[in-house]
Amino acid sequence: MRLIRVLIAVLCLAAGALLGALNRQSVSIDLGFGFVPATSLGIVLIVALLAGALIGGLAISASVVLPLRRRLARAERTASTGAQLPAVTAAEN
């Protein structure tokens, strides 16, 4: 398992280096509220990919993981008091 993780990490690093090396054009970015001066297109692409992955992970965490943790904590509290667990309906899933 550790070997697979190392291989995936090396492949991602190689892909990032290749992306940066093949896209050396200079670009300027106007964000509407600010301006990023000329930088390499490869760097811009890598930063955009990382930002998208982080924002997507936060969205999944906020919409799926946190509600499931709250349900689990509520179920554990009711189980520790000896009360019956409510039946899970299809609407809650």
Residue 6 predicted with pLDDT over 90? yes
* Cα pseudo-dihedral 92, 89, 70, 74, rounded to 10: 160
pLDDT confidence bin for 9, thresholds 50/70/90:
very high
The pLDDT tens digits for 10-59 are: 999 999 889 888 988 999 888 889 888 888 998 888 899 999 999 999 99
Residue 61 predicted with pLDDT over 60? yes
pLDDT of the residue at 71: 94
Domain ranges for the chain: 2-81
Distance CA 43, CA 50 (A): 11
pLDDT confidence bin for 84, thresholds 50/70/90:
low
pLDDT confidence bin for 1, thresholds 50/70/90:
confident
Distance CA 61, CA 66 (A): 6
